[in-house]
Chain A
Amino acid sequence: MKTVSYLETDTLGFYGDFGGAYVPELLRENVENLDRAFRSYCFTESFERDFTSLLNDYVGRPTPLYLAKRFSEKFGCPVYFKREDLCHTGAHKINNTIGQILLAKHMGKTDIVAETGAGQHGVATATVCALMGLNCIVYMGEKDIERQAPNVQRMKMLGAKVVPATSGSKTLKDATNEAIRHWINHTDAYYLIGSVVGPHPYPEMVAYFQSVISKEIGDQLIAKTGNRNPTKVIACVGGGSNAAGAFYHYYDQPEVELIAVEAAGLGIHSGKSAATSVLGSPGVLHGSFTLLMQDLGGQVIEPHSISAGLDYPGIGPLHAHTISTGRTKSFAVTDEEALEAALECSRLEGIIPALESAHALAVLHQIALTPNDCVIINLSGRGDKDMNTYQSEIQLQTDES
C-alpha cells in the first residue's frame, strides 16, 4: 500500500500538528507494545491473507457500489452509495474489529475491552470475540444503552458483558474514559478502539483497516465508469473511521473533493450540537491532540446528536489535520435534516440508513452539484438499530404537519 503525505505521521504519531500519544505512564507499555505488534504483523502476507479472507467470507466484502438512480435524478448527477450497511452486523465498524482482533490474537490476548456509542462497534467487537473465542467487555454510556436497546441485546446474545458508563454525559466520551481506565487496570487486556481516535497508533491503525472501503470504491468505480476517481466523497464523522476509510486512497488525489459531515444536533450554535470542526479548538482528549469541543477553561463540552454514533466531542487527528489544512471540507447537518434524509433514502431507494449515515445523505441538500459531478456517499450503516428513534421522531413530525 502506497503511503501518501496526508496519511503520514511523524515518529511521535502526529499528522501535522495533531495526534501523538498523550497517555499517562500507566499506559505507556501497552501503547508501545501495540505499536510494535501493529508494525511487525499487520503488513505481513499472513495478516493480509487472514484479513482479506475474513472480510470476504465473513463480513461479505466487497460491499456493493450502488448507483442510486432516483437520488441521481433528484440531485442531477450520478450518486453512488457505498453499501457498508450490508456488512455483517450492519455497519463499517466490523472492518476495523476484524483487523484488530487478528492483531489481538497475534499478541496472545484473551480479554478484549471496547467502548461503544451507537452500539455498532460494540456489536462488531462482540461478534469477532465470539468468532475467536475471546472474552469481551463493552462499556456503553447509560444514555446510549437506552436509545440503542437492540444493540445491547445483540451484544449480550453474542456473549459480551455490557457495562454502563454512568459518569459525565453518559455517552460515548464517558464510555471511552471507562474503557481506558479498564485498560490501565488490566494491562494484559486488549483495548479494541472503535474509531480513528485515541493515542497513536490507534488512529493510523483504524484508518488502515478501514481503507478497504476506498480501495474497493476505486476498483468498482473504474469498472462501472472507466474512471477511478469520483468528484466528491461524502461521509459522516463521529470519531471519523468510516470517513477515514472512504477518503483513504483519495487523500492524495487533489481533484477528489472530500466532504466530512458532522452532527449539528439542534443547530450548530444551539448549545446542543456535535459539530466539532466548527465549534472545536485544539486540545487533548483520550490520548491525542486534536480538535475538540471545550469551554474556555479546557473542560470538554458534552455534545448532542440524535445519532449516538456521532455524539462525540472530538474528531480523529487525521481529520483535524486534513480539515484544518483545507484538504477535507466539513459540513454540519441537524437532527431534523438527518431524519428527513433518512426518510428520503427509505422512500426513494428502499434503503433505511443508520441515523449516522443519514447525516451524510442530508448534505446533498447543502452542496452545489452539477451534471459533471460523480458523488460517492459512504452509507456507513443500516437503520435497524434506529427504528425506535425513527418511529417516535418521524411519527411525531407527520402528526404535526
Chain B
Amino acid sequence: MNPFYKTLKQVSIFTQAGFPKLESLSDQLINLQESGVDFIEIGIPFSDPMADGPVIQHTSSIALENGMTLDLLFRQLTKVRDQITVPLVLMGYLNPVLQFGLGNFLGKCQELNIASLILPDLSYELYSARYAKVFQAYDVPLTFLITPATDDERVKKIATACRESFVYLVGQTSITGNGYLIDEAKQARYRELKALCGKTPLFLGFGIDSPQKRDQGFQECDGVIIGTAYLKSLAEGTSETFLENTIGLPTLIPPQKHR
C-alpha cells in the first residue's frame, strides 16, 4: 500500500535535522505530527545546497555548525521512531549519502521504515543507469522531482518509478523559497501533470508560503509540501501559529474539482 495515497488533500512539512538546535528533531517530529501534518520530510544538511534559497542555505549551515551528521540523524530517529506514525521522508543532496555509503544508508532507511527518499541531484536517468540495483535491493522507494517543463513522456516514466511513493512537483523552475504566483496557466499545466501521473500521488512544493497558496495547490494536486515558510517561522519563533494557520482542518478543504 502506498502510504502517500489518501482521498483527502494533504499537507507535508519539510524540516531540517539539526536546526535550530542539534537535538531539535525529535520534538519537532512529535510536534508536527500532533499539529496534523500528513507526512514529514526531514532535510539532511549539506554544505553546498545548490537548489536552495537563502533560508534553507541558512538552516542547513546552522545544522552543520551544530554538528549534525547522517549518523547522528539516524540515531535521533531511532530513539523517536516508535512515537511517529505519519510517513517519514528523507531529503538531501546525494554527496553525504554516498559518503555514508549508499548501501548502509538504504539499510538504515529500511530499518527505520522511511517511506521515501528525495535526492534532488540524482536524476531519473542516473538512478536507472547507475544506482537502481542498490535501491531495489533495499526496497526504499524514491521520489523524483518534476517541473511544469518536464516533458509528458518523462513525467509518465517518473510517475511509474514513483508508484510506491509520490511525485514531487516543483511548481515553478526556481530554487526553494521563491514564492510564486499560481495562475490559471500554471493550474492548467498542473492538471495535465496530475493526469499524467495516473495513480501516483502528486504533491506541489518549493513555493507554498500561505494558506492561499496551499488551497491553490489543493486545486489540482494531492497536497502541498511546505519547507522555507515553515523554517522561517521556526527561526522567528512563530511556528505554532504558522502550523495552525497552514495545516488547517481537513473539513475546510474545498471539494475536488476536475476529477
Nearest residue (CB) in A for B54 is A167
- Which of A173, A177, A298 neighbours the largest number of chain B CB atoms within 10 Å of its CB? A298
A25 near B146 (CB under 8 angstroms)?
Answer: yes
Chain B residues contacting A281 (CB-CB under 8 Å) are 99
Number of inter-chain CB pairs below 8 Å = 108
Does residue A184 face the partner (Cβ distance < 8 Å to B)?
Answer: yes
B47 near A299 (CB under 8 angstroms)?
Answer: yes
Contact with A along B133-151 (1 / 0, CB 8 A): 0000000000011110110
Contact with A along B7-28 (1 / 0, CB 8 A): 0000000000000000000000
Nearest residue (CB) in B for A302 is B47
Chain A residues contacting B61 (CB-CB under 8 Å) are 167-168
Does residue B70 face the partner (Cβ distance < 8 Å to A)?
Answer: yes
A298 near B126 (CB under 8 angstroms)?
Answer: no
Chain A residues contacting B51 (CB-CB under 8 Å) are 24, 26, 181, 184
Chain B residues contacting A181 (CB-CB under 8 Å) are 50-53, 175
Nearest residue (CB) in A for B154 is A28
If A25-B146, A26-B147, A184-B173 touch, whether A168 touches B47 (CB-CB below 8 Å) is yes
Distance between Cα atoms of A71 and B151 in the complex (Å) = 58
Number of interface residues of A (CB under 8 A): 32
Does residue A21 face the partner (Cβ distance < 8 Å to B)?
Answer: yes
CB distance from A196 to the nearest CB of B (A): 18
B173 near A26 (CB under 8 angstroms)?
Answer: yes
Nearest residue (CB) in A for B57 is A167
Chain A residues contacting B129 (CB-CB under 8 Å) are 12
Does residue A284 face the partner (Cβ distance < 8 Å to B)?
Answer: yes
CB distance from A301 to the nearest CB of B (A): 8
CB distance from A279 to the nearest CB of B (A): 14
B173 near A297 (CB under 8 angstroms)?
Answer: no
B95 near A26 (CB under 8 angstroms)?
Answer: no
B48 near A177 (CB under 8 angstroms)?
Answer: yes
If A20-B126, A29-B149, A167-B57 touch, whether A298 touches B96 (CB-CB below 8 Å) is yes
CB distance from B100 to the nearest CB of A (A): 7
Q: Which residues 111-156 of B have a CB within 8 angstroms of A?
A: 120-123, 125-126, 129-130, 144-147, 149-150
Distance between Cα atoms of A283 and B125 in the complex (Å) = 18
Contact with B along A93-137 (1 / 0, CB 8 A): 000000000000000000000000000000000000000000000
Contact with A along B84-97 (1 / 0, CB 8 A): 00000000011111
CB distance from B125 to the nearest CB of A (A): 7
- Which of B49, B50, B150 neighbours the largest number of chain A CB atoms within 10 Å of its CB? B50
Does residue B187 face the partner (Cβ distance < 8 Å to A)?
Answer: no
Q: Which residues 339-367 of A have a CB within 8 angstroms of B?
A: none
CB distance from A176 to the nearest CB of B (A): 8
Does residue A22 face the partner (Cβ distance < 8 Å to B)?
Answer: yes
B57 near A24 (CB under 8 angstroms)?
Answer: no
If A283-B98, A284-B121 touch, whether A185 touches B70 (CB-CB below 8 Å) is no
Distance between Cα atoms of A180 and B52 in the complex (Å) = 10
Does residue B174 face the partner (Cβ distance < 8 Å to A)?
Answer: yes
A25 near B99 (CB under 8 angstroms)?
Answer: no
Q: Which of A20, A29, A180, A299 contacts B50 (CB 8 A)?
A: A180
B178 near A299 (CB under 8 angstroms)?
Answer: no
Chain B residues contacting A22 (CB-CB under 8 Å) are 94, 121-123, 126
Distance between Cα atoms of A229 and B97 in the complex (Å) = 44
Chain A residues contacting B48 (CB-CB under 8 Å) are 168, 173, 177, 285-286, 300
Does residue A187 face the partner (Cβ distance < 8 Å to B)?
Answer: yes
If A25-B120, A28-B123 touch, whether A284 touches B145 (CB-CB below 8 Å) is no
If A185-B175, A284-B94, A298-B100 touch, whether A25 touches B47 (CB-CB below 8 Å) is no
Distance between Cα atoms of A24 and B57 in the complex (Å) = 16
Nearest residue (CB) in A for B128 is A12
Does residue A294 face the partner (Cβ distance < 8 Å to B)?
Answer: yes
Excluding A168-B61, A286-B50, A298-B98, 5 further A-B contacts by CB distance (< 8 Å) are A20-B126, A177-B49, A283-B98, A296-B99, A300-B47
**A-B complex: 6 closest residue pairs judged by Cβ atoms:** A298-B99, A298-B96, A25-B145, A24-B120, A299-B47, A298-B95
Could you give 28 example pairs across A and B, Cβ below 8 Å?
Answer: A12-B126, A12-B130, A22-B121, A24-B51, A24-B121, A24-B145, A25-B147, A25-B150, A26-B147, A26-B170, A26-B173, A26-B174, A28-B150, A29-B149, A168-B48, A173-B48, A181-B50, A181-B51, A181-B175, A187-B149, A285-B48, A286-B48, A287-B121, A296-B99, A298-B46, A298-B96, A298-B97, A299-B47
